[in-house]
Amino acid sequence: MTAVVKTPASSANLGPGFDVLGLALTLYDTISLVPGRAGLTLTVSGEGRGKLDRSPEGNLAVRAVKAVYAEIGAEPPAIDIHMDNAIPLSRGLGSSAAAIVGALTAASAFSGADLNRDRLFALAVELEGHADNVAAAVYGGLTISFKQGDTFNVRRSLPAANIGVALLLPEAGLSTAKARAALPEETPRANAVFNIGRTALLVEALLSGDLDCLAAAVEDALHQPWRRGLIPDYNVTEYACYQAGARGVALSGAGPSLIAFYDKKDETAFKAALAKEVESAGIQRLAIWPDIDVDGAVVATCLEARPKTPWAGQN
């Protein structure tokens, strides 16, 4: 048996929807599980190669594979895990959620556990700690995660077709732990009310495609004001996006990438204007232009192992 899974990147929060909103994007990590010789081994290519913790205790994908076997009450067999990553790490693009969700989905197929998406999502939240990126990685589209009792649930929908997304990635990353540590524990009621209104407006605007209220809808009083100080080129990049015609700009997840929403019908003009603004302001960021992923993590291949024929020899 071989299982190969493609898992999308995601942008969480989208401004006011802290730890709640997620948007899946067409930038993918691919993980494959093949029968190994001994224990769980891990190799990495692409983003994170030579940087990711590959220890069984520290690597999220390995822990996710073990979690699936724990779920079915079995010991993991020998498996060679390979991660081929296109999602840059520590940029606020959901790379750890993609690693977890990809490994859970692959292990579910590989083991025959065949866990449904809701169960995979629950296991992913346990491993990740918050639900926004993992919801988008599991279900695709625009996700709203919410807790009922001890259980997280998700409402998934698709933004209107005129919603375009640009991401502006800096070269240096920012750890989510550091970006979370910068936030106050308590929030004044006025800030909570501010965010409730903005989050409701944002979801309505994304679903209806009403771009006129997006700039107001992405405002936030829960996390962005504290994170600005950690990201030296935040203000100048946000300004450049708006100057170029962006309709709403927010931190992507915990940052440091920014997400800019624009009108798809103005895509060519916006791309040109943004390139010009970025260059003239001397901003050292890479702009990428993903679409919205609609499927979430997908098992791309699930093959039975080739029969062990006596003439093929041992390897």
Nearer to ligand HSE, 223 or 247 (CB): 223
Positions in 180-209 near ligand HSE (CB under 6 A): 180
Is residue 228 within the footprint of ligand HSE (CB under 6 A)? no
Using CB under 6 A, which of 176, 224, 237, 257 touches ligand HSE?
A: 176
Q: Which stretch binds ligand HSE (CB under 6 A): 1-9, 37-45, 71-79, 126-134?
A: 126-134
Task: Give the nearer residue to ligand HSE in terms of CB position, either 133 or 195.
Answer: 133
11 binds ligand HSE (CB under 6 A): no
Residue labelled with tokens 């495609």? 209
C-alpha to C-alpha distance for 218 and 203, rounded to whole angstroms? 10
2 touches 243 (CB < 8 A):
no
Nearer to ligand HSE by C-beta: 12 or 137?
12
Rounded to whole angstroms, the Cα distance separating 221 from 213 reads 17
- Helices and strands (H and E) in the chain: how many: 10, 11
Q: Is 133 in the site for ligand HSE (CB under 6 A)?
A: yes
Using rule CB under 6 A, residue 254 touches ligand HSE: yes
**CA-closest candidate to residue 128, choices 220, 7, 38, 4:** 7
- Min dist CB 24 to ligand HSE, Å, is 14
Residues 6+ apart with CB under 8 A from 90: 173, 174, 175, 176
Residue with tokens 């800019």: 260
Q: Which of residues 89-108 bind ligand HSE (CB under 6 A)?
A: none
Question: Is 13 near ligand HSE (CB under 6 A)?
Answer: yes
Candidates 78-86, 108-116, 127-135, 206-214 — which segment interacts with ligand HSE by CB under 6 A? 127-135
Burial of 124 (0-12, 13-18, 19+ CB in 10 A): buried
Q: Which stretch binds ligand HSE (CB under 6 A): 11-19, 149-157, 184-192, 293-301?
A: 11-19
CA gap 121, 140 in Å, rounded? 12
CA distances from 79 to 46, 71, 103, 150 (A): 20, 17, 12, 32
Of 223, 240, 277, 296, the one binding ligand HSE (CB under 6 A) is 223
Interface size with ligand HSE, residues (CB under 6 A): 13
Give whichever of 36 and 226 is closer to ligand HSE, judged by the CB atom: 226
How far are the Cα atoms of 141, 261, 285 from residue 11, in angstroms, in the given order?
11, 12, 17
Pairing of strands 258-263, 2-13: unpaired
CB 81 within 8 A of CB 42: yes
Task: Decide: is 7 part of the binding site for ligand HSE (CB under 6 A).
Answer: no
**Of 30-38, 143-151, 175-183, 211-219, which part binds ligand HSE (CB under 6 A)?**
175-183
Q: Return the residue of 6, 130, 156, 247 that touches ligand HSE, per CB under 6 A.
A: 130
Q: Please give the residue ranges that form the binding site for ligand HSE (CB under 6 A).
A: 12-13, 18-19, 130, 132-133, 176, 179-180, 223, 253-254
